Structure 1
Amino acid sequence: MAEVKLKGTWPSPFSYRVIWALKLKDIPYEYIEEDLSNKSPMLLQYNPVHKMIPVLVHGGKPIFESAVILQYIEEVWPQNPLLPNDPYERAVAPRFWVQFPKDKGPCIWRLFRTTAGEEQEKAKKESLEMLRALEEHGLGDKKFFGGDKIGIADIAFGGVAHWLEVIEDLVGVKLIEAHIFPRLHAWTKNFKRVPIIKENLPDYSEMLLYLTGLLERLPRNYSSSKGKKIPTSGFDLI
């Protein structure tokens, strides 16, 4: 079997996407922690354009961007499938729902980045709209997005189950409440109860400490950040 390596960083939900997929499929791999403040020659060699994690190296060949990596893993290692059997569902899961967090996730980042006031209220409204779409059109009456067991869409939304909880506590804004999003609230509990997921989550206290420090180093409001590059994703910096 070709050697499998994963370049990641511990606070990043995108790294954990790949970890969960590898663990669920029982694929042996070597994990290599990356310091994004001092990027390694290995990272620059394998991902010279974006210079970001995660990077999966299989048989010496690199694959990057977590959504692409998930699809690659599913195609190369078909055991314990992460995609549904139905052709339509197989098409929708990777092409729409896996992309959904990347397209809609920045609103949560803005909630994290902005102080109380109009900007935070706007970010909260957009975040609630995103979560409502998941509640009504993604989950439905299913235990997981893919049905009775974890699939590729659940892995894609894993950040909602853990990282969002840390952000909620940090900024003092609760988004996933049981009486507003009962299905999504139940899903976060079910997802984190799965042993492989539970055993492979970053420590809550360490995440809270890390994000607190990150928040202190960044300008909070967009209005005060003119002329500076603003990250477009909730975890561009981790």
Structure 2
Amino acid sequence: MAEVKLLGAWGSPFSRRVEMALKLKGIDYEYIEEDLANKSPLLLKYNPIHKKVPVLLHNGKAIVESLVILEYIDETWKTNPILPEHPYDKAMARFWAKFIDEKCMPATWQIMFRKEDEREKAIEEAIQNLKVLENELKDKKFFGGDKIGLVDIVANFIGFWLGAAQEAAGVELVNKESFPVLCKWIDEYVNCKVIKENLPPRDKLIAFLQPRFMASTWKY
């Protein structure tokens, strides 16, 4: 039987992605919580370049970077695929996953940490990116169609972390008036059993984020 271990951190959307994929696939694994302020020898051994979570250990071999890990999981365990079968659809899923990581996430975090005179531009950029994402979702239940797929898993930050970050920072970026389609997806997403079971406690996450935003240039 294959030995699967996951080095992660409770508040990391990146390591939670991997847990979601493992649970959707029905894969047994051992979870090892990392203290990122005091990184373990195990983490430094298996991810010496980035020294970050998540790290998936499969029979002693390490795979790092959440998007790479998700594809590895899908290719290794064929049940309940998270990537489409058709090459074009697969390519599009990869494109939107990268769009979320490279455009949506950085833009939304910048709102929380930018100086006051730079915040308006950051808000504009974040709204524009989220509108593009909402247009891609259109009338689908999930980005993956009728079931959760790669893009939905990668979008866990928007589905859960963004709401907690908005509350912690005292700002509102996404609401039902501005993003009705995205908000409908968020409701479906966080109430999906596998996703719901693999989200951190909201109160704990907000308490973790608040002092970080208060220490930044954000002023309430």
- TM-score when normalising by structure 1: 0.88
Runs of 5+ consecutive residues of structure 1 not aligned to the other structure: 222-238
Could you say what secondary structure the match of 1:99 adopts? Answer: helix
- Does structure 1 residue 55 correspond to structure 2 residue 55? yes
The letter for the 1-side match of 2:172 is: K
Shift of 1:161: 0.8
**Partner residue in 2 for 1:234:** none
Instruction: Map 1:15-34 onto structure 2 (within 5 A).
Output: 15-34=15-34
Q: Provide, for residues 72-106 of structure 1, a one-character-per-residue CA deviation record: whole Å limited to 9, x for no partner.
A: 00000010011123321112112x11111221121
Task: Name the % identity.
Answer: 49
- Does structure 1 residue 97 correspond to structure 2 residue 85? no
**Partner residue in 2 for 1:133:** 132
Could you say what secondary structure the match of 1:57 adopts? Answer: strand
In structure 1, what is the Cα distance between the partners aligned to 2:138 and 2:108?
22
**Partner residue in 1 for 2:155:** 157
Runs of 5+ consecutive residues of structure 2 not aligned to the other structure: none
Shift of 1:213: 2.4
Could you say what secondary structure the match of 1:131 adopts? Answer: helix
**Partner residue in 2 for 1:210:** 208
Deviating beyond 3 angstroms after TM superposition, the runs of 4 or more aligned structure 1 residues are none
Instruction: Map 1:159-238 onto structure 2 (within 5 A).
Output: 159-217=157-215, 219-220=216-217
Shift of 1:32: 0.2
In structure 2, what is the Cα distance between the partners aligned to 1:37 and 1:220?
22
**Partner residue in 1 for 2:5:** 5
- TM-score when normalising by structure 2: 0.95
**Partner residue in 2 for 1:224:** none
Q: Provide, for residues 118-171 of structure 1, a one-character-per-residue CA deviation record: whole Å limited to 9, x for no partner.
A: 3221111111011001011x2121010010000000000011011000111122
In structure 2, what is the Cα distance between the partners aligned to 1:216 and 1:38?
23
Q: Is the 8 A contact 2:93 2:151 kept in 1?
A: yes
Please tell me the root mean square deviation across aligned C-alpha atoms, in Å: 1.3
